[in-house]
Each structure stands twice: as structure tokens, then as C-alpha cells.
């Protein structure tokens, strides 16, 4: 099958690339065709889990405020962002039926707070522009030709058949048993312009398994070693010592390259490629929690400060909300410091995090308040006959969430009324690891942006080839910044490819 433009990947960047390309071609005299190839059964799988299913799809800060949250080359992102700033993205989605709301931190969400509505809107926009979306189509190889690019693919289709059994006297087709047949067939595609929007390595269950990196390396691009970012940090003692499935899990999340034999697909594990480094400090998300981890799990904190230390030196400090989950320390500020923490752990540095539960109060004033509360507790007739531990936990419950009191006491065993203020202001966690690509929000690292033209997103190594989204060495903070960069780079790549025709 031939198409003027083919987009590999039906995620945020890929769908916007298709929209940008189709819009541009529609304004030309001869038009053109755009095809999206998505290897998963449905498009937008990763969008569906963004923001815990609510989908914080952009952040409406101006460029000065937005660029402060980009952790890679700001100048590379600038042309894409100014071509499709947040307000223009919101209007594009609104024109296709999606209403949005802006909440705390300038974060934009669909009004329904349903990520599925964002995916439906993007698919609708593509459909109305005549874009052909092919799902269940995995690209295996890419070859440069005299007329553009040739792609060898594997197309997986599932057909349902309703069967009548011998026992059916009164055959009702609606209630007949269903038999499913899966067919795997090779397919060939060709195009004049090719856009790679395959994402990174994070959440491989959504289809992000590093395919784009492999093709880029084969073409001659430099791929910066990848590592998980916006991920859970694991404190010492939070997880069990050993997960019996550790080795199997590591293999599963490496990303398997598949070899095709006739009409049968067989998996073969290849050695880890250069862009997938050994993740020293990787602790699988499914590793069981320890007893202490269970005490922390499920607690959420607001308006606290988390300070990251690397080899004893302060590296980053963030104020905001934090969560303790089955993975470790997460939430907005946990994610904010995770990028530096992961890199440091992988490099063998000693990493710790200090949590300030009362950042708005100085230690001396907090100590006065604590002693006053303690005197009130001792004077309360209900305290008569109660042991010290019980009364101290009551005091602690007046200062932090009750469900977190046992975890605090277990990790601060020598705390007293006199030292409580200092402990609340300096609750220290030694960070021994992190959750890997299996549940990291984004992938840091990727195709070097030095080898991609920022104003068009075309490869400097291969004419007519474009890269966009997470496959590039481009990542930002949590809060709508990463989806915005995926959308705007995809949109610019699509427009550029169409104009180049």
C-alpha cells in the first residue's frame, strides 16, 4: 500500500502529526494521503493512562514559564511550541468537540476529566481530515528508496465467528458462542515522507518498546542512553529484599525484537542495545512491599517540601504535593526530583531525600506549638492512665495525617517531644533505587536533537524522515509539559512533511 505520508505510532505525537499533515495537504491543489500505522489494537493507549486517567494534556503557561520546566534543549523545543502553543492546541481540540478546563498549576484537562475523550477527539480529527488509521500493524523494517521509504509490516487481525452447535434447537445468532481467529499477515507500505512517533521505553504495555531508537541507529543517528524519569523513588526498607521474579521481569521489560517465520511469529531476546543501559538501582514495581512500605502506602501529602541530596550536597528542592504508593515516593514533587535522583543512582552516587512536613513554619515556632499541644494533651482528663506511646501518637496525629503516624514512628524510633519539630522538618529517606520503565511516566534520553532540524523536525541524516515526541531526547517536568511537547512536535513534523511534498 502506498501513501504520501506515513506516520508510525498512533500516540499523542503521531495523531497530531497526522492532523498537521492532513490539514496542510487539504489546502493544496492536489491534496495527498496520510496513513497512521499503530501496532497496538487501539490508538492512544498511553494517553489513556495520563494523569491517572484524567489526562492533563497541556499547561497554559507562557513560553517563559513553560520553558523553565523543560529538562533538555529548550531552543530545540521552541519552534514547535510557538507553532502550536497551548492556547492553539486547546482551540484545535475544541473545534473537534472537546471542552477543557484549567486547574491549579495552569494544568489543562478535558472538562469530563476522562482521558478517553482526548483520544476520541484526536481520532475524530484524523478521520474528518481523511487520515487512514491502521491498527494492529507493527513495522518491522524501514528501507530508504529512490522514491521515499519502504516499510515491511506485520498485520494482526482478530475475527469473531458466531457458531451454531449441535445442541442448539432454536438457533439465536445473538446468543451463539463466539470463536475468535487471529491472523498474522505480512504487509508492505511505501511513502514519500515518513514520520517516526513511536514514543520511548516507558509503559511498554502501551506499545512503547524502543522501536524508533533501533531504526534511528540503523540510519546513523546517535541515540542518547535512555533512563526512566518521572518515576517512583524507593527508600531503604520500603521493598522486600528479593523479588523471586526479578530476572523474568527484567527480561520482559527489555523490549523484545521479533523475528517472523512464515505465518508464525517467534520471539527472540537480543542483547540490550546501546540506548538501553544497565539500570543500576532498578527495583521492579511488583516487588512486594515490606511492613514499613505497607505503612507508608496510600498516604498523600499537600504543601510539603522535598529536598534531594546527592553525595551529601543539595541538588534540588521542590514544594507541593507528594504521595507514597506501592512503588515508593511519587506525586508531583516526587516526580520532579526523580530525574536527577535516577541519574545519580545509576552513576553510583549516594542519594537521599529530606521531607519537610511543615515548610511554612520555622523550627523554633513549630517546637513551641508542639509543646503547647503536648501540655493540652497531658491536661486532658481522657489522658489519665494512658501510656506515653499512645499519648505521643495522639500528639503526632495533630501534626500529620493519622494514617502516617506509625510509619513516622517506625522510621524515627528515637524521636521525643523535644526533637519532634526538628524531625518533622527533616524527615530523611535514604533512596536505594527507583521503579524502571515498566511504570515510569516518561523516558529521558533518545534520538539526539543535534541531528534533527528544530524548525522542521526533519532528520539531518536522511531526507524525508521526521522524528517527533518522546522518541527524541526531550523531556520535561510533570504537569502537562510532556504531552504539550509531544503534541506540538508532532504537529510541526506533520506540517513540515506535507510542505516538503
What pLDDT is recorded for position 169?
54
**For the chain, percent of residues with pLDDT exceeding 90:** 85
- Pairing state of beta strands 2-8 and 178-196? parallel
Say how far apart CA 428 and CA 351 lie, in whole Å: 11
Say how far apart CA 404 and CA 390 lie, in whole Å: 15
**Cα dist from 442 to 88, 129, 143, 212, 306, whole Å:** 24, 30, 28, 15, 21
User: Residue 444 pairs with which residues in a beta bridge?
Assistant: 227
249 φ, ψ (degrees, to nearest 5): -65, -40
All three cell numbers of 346: 545509576
User: Residues 9-52: pLDDT tens digits?
Assistant: 999 999 999 999 999 999 999 899 999 999 999 999 999 999 98
In which residue ranges of the chain is pLDDT below 70?
Answer: 160-176, 242-272
Q: Which domains does the chain have, with CATH numbers?
A: 2-160+180-229+445-500 (3.50.50.60), 231-239+271-440 (no CATH)
Say how far apart CA 42 and CA 187 lie, in whole Å: 19
* Grid cell 484524567 in the structure block, residue: 54
Q: Which residues contact 137 (CB under 8 A, 6 or more apart)?
A: 37, 38, 39, 153, 154, 155, 156, 187
All three cell numbers of 153: 509490516
489 φ, ψ (degrees, to nearest 5): -70, -35
What pLDDT is recorded for position 180?
73
Distance spanning both ends of the chain, measured CA to CA: 18
What pLDDT is recorded for position 261?
30
User: Residues 164-207: pLDDT tens digits?
Assistant: 655 555 556 666 677 777 788 999 999 999 999 999 999 998 99
DSSP letter for 472, please: B
**Cα dist from 415 to 153, 367, 409, 447, 469, whole Å:** 62, 13, 8, 49, 48
All three cell numbers of 365: 515556632
What pLDDT is recorded for position 253?
45
What pLDDT is recorded for position 419?
98
What pLDDT is recorded for position 252?
46
User: Residues 336-364: pLDDT tens digits?
Assistant: 999 999 999 999 999 999 999 999 999 99
Amino acid at each position: 500500500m502506498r501513501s504520501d505520508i506515513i506516520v508510525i505510532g498512533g500516540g499523542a505525537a503521531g495523531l497530531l502529526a497526522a492532523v498537521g499533515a492532513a490539514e496542510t495537504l487539504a489546502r493544496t491543489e492536489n491534496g495527498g494521503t496520510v496513513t497512521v500505522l499503530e501496532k497496538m489494537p487501539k490508538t492512544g493507549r498511553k494517553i489513556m493512562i495520563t494523569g491517572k486517567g484524567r489526562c492533563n494534556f497541556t499547561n497554559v503557561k507562557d513560553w517563559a514559564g513553560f520553558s523553565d520546566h523543560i529538562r533538555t534543549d529548550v531552543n530545540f523545543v521552541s519552534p514547535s511550541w510557538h507553532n502550536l502553543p497551548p492556547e492553539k492546541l486547546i482551540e484545535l481540540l475544541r473545534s473537534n468537540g472537546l471542552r477543557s478546563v484549567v486547574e491549579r498549576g495552569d494544568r489543562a484537562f478535558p472538562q469530563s476529566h476522562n482521558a478517553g475523550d482526548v483520544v476520541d477527539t484526536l481520532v475524530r480529527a484524523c478521520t474528518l481530515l481523511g487520515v487512514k488509521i491502521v491498527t494492529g500493524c507493527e513495522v518491522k523494517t524501514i528501507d530508504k528508496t529512490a522514491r521515499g521509504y519502504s516499510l515491511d509490516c506485520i498485520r494482526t487481525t482478530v475475527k469473531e465467528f458466531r457458531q451454531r452447535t449441535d445442541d442448539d434447537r432454536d438457533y439465536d445468532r445473538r446468543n451463539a458462542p463466539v470463536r475468535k481467529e487471529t491472523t498474522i499477515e505480512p504487509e508492505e507500505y511505501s511513502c514519500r515522507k515518513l514520520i517516526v512517533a513511536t514514543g520511548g521505553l516507558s509503559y511498554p504495555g502501551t506499545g512503547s518498546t524502543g522501536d524508533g531508537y533501533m531504526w534511528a541507529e540503523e540510519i546513523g543517528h546517535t541515540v542518547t542512553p535512555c533512563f526512566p524519569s518521572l518515576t517512583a523513588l524507593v527508600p531503604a526498607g520500603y521493598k522486600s529484599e528479593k523479588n523471586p521474579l526479578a530476572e523474568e521481569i527484567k527480561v520482559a521489560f527489555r523490549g523484545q525484537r521479533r523475528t517472523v517465520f512464515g505465518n508464525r511469529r517467534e520471539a527472540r531476546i537480543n542483547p540490550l542495545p546501546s540506548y538501553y543501559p544497565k539500570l543500576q538501582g532498578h527495583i521492579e514495581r511488583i516487588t512486594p512491599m515490606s511492613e514499613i512500605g505497607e505503612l507508608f502506602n496510600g498516604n498523600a501529602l499537600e504543601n510539603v517540601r522535598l529536598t534531594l541530596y546527592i553525595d551529601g550536597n543539595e541538588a534540588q528542592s521542590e514544594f507541593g504535593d507528594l504521595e507514597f504508593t506501592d512503588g515508593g515516593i511519587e506525586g508531583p514533587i516526587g516526580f520532579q526530583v526523580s530525574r536527577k535522583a535516577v541519574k545519580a543512582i545509576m552513576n553510583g552516587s549516594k542519594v537521599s531525600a529530606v521531607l519537610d512536613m511543615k515548610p511554612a513554619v520555622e523550627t523554633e515556632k513549630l517546637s513551641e506549638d508542639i509543646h503547647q499541644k503536648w501540655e493540652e494533651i497531658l491536661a486532658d482528663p481522657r489522658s489519665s492512665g494512658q501510656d506515653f506511646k499512645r499519648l505521643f501518637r495522639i500528639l503526632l496525629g495533630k501534626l500529620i495525617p493519622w494514617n502516617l503516624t506509625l510509619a513516622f514512628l517506625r522510621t524515627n524510633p528515637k524521636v521525643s517531644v523535644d526533637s519532634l519539630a526538628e524531625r518533622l522538618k527533616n524527615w530523611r529517606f535514604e533512596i536505594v533505587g527507583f521503579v524502571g520503565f515498566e511504570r515510569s511516566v516518561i523516558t529521558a534520553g533518545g534520538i539526539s536533537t543535534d541531528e534533527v532540524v528544530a524548525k522542521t523536525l526533519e532528520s539531518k541524516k536522511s531526507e524525508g524522515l521526521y522524528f517527533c515526541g518522546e522518541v527524541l531526547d526531550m523531556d520535561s517536568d510533570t504537569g502537562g509539559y510532556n504531552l504539550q511537547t509531544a503534541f506540538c512536535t508532532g504537529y510541526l513534523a506533520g506540517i513540515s512533511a506535507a510542505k516538503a511534498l
